[in-house]
Amino acid sequence: MTHFEIELTKLRDIITKIGVLAETQVGEAVKAILSEPIEGKEVKKTEHKIDKLDVKIEEICQNIFALHQPVASDLRFIMSAMQISNEIERIGDLSISIIKKTKSIKDKHDLVAKFAIEDLTREIVQVVVKTNACFVTKDESIIGEIFVLNKAIKYKIDDTVHQIISEMKSNSKVVVSGTNLVMVLKHLERISEHCTNVAESVYFMVHAKIIKHEKFDLQGEE
């Protein structure tokens, strides 16, 4: 293998690794929402690992640009790698924010049960798992599944937020917890959005075409 090929392989491996770490963080965030015990020290360690790998990815990409002047599919891969790394790092950050926010939700278990939040969290985990799979496999059908799942998640979160706000209007005791729960749901929505951005980058990497998930959805319904 040439030095260039070694660097590309290293880049691919690190992105796969950072994706798995972000998936772990999302899993811990979901545990926090569902009032399950989480490993606080491990969460901090994983956050540190993600940040280090994000910097490493940028360094590798800059070195490749400086030394090898990549073209065509290699250039698309490196451009996409930088974008994907940024999206995954944000997923990790949002997971940490969710864990912190859940500490301010009183009667969390009751609220989560009342508004069927557990079903939503399952879909969030699913979209993150599919996102990592789409980078590894470059499978276009998985990219499509991510777009469709994101649309469903957005719809459900909008509906749930509306229900929570209605509850807050009729019951002042849940205003503080309800507000924090709405912020948690919005963070989950953003995680799903970052996943679709990764899927868009993978599509660009493979096809040299820019696709937006909103447009993809419209095409799928025709």
> What is the Cα–Cα distance from 221 to 198, expressed in whole angstroms?
22
Domain ranges in the chain are 3-221
pLDDT at 163: 97
CATH topology for 3-221?
A: Methane Monooxygenase Hydroxylase; Chain G, domain 1 (1.20.58)
Please name the amino acid found at residue 40: G
Q: Are the C-beta atoms of 217 and 203 separated by less than 8 Å?
A: no
> What is the Cα–Cα distance from 144 to 202, expressed in whole angstroms?
11
User: What's the pLDDT tens digit per position in 76-117?
Assistant: 999 999 999 999 999 999 999 999 999 999 888 899 999 999
Tell which residue, 84, 92, 109, 89, has the closest CA to residue 177: 109
Please name the amino acid found at residue 117: I
> What is the Cα–Cα distance from 108 to 103, expressed in whole angstroms?
9
User: What's the pLDDT tens digit per position in 169-187?
Assistant: 999 999 999 999 999 999 9
**Sign of the torsion formed by the C-alpha atoms of 101, 106, 108 and 114:** negative
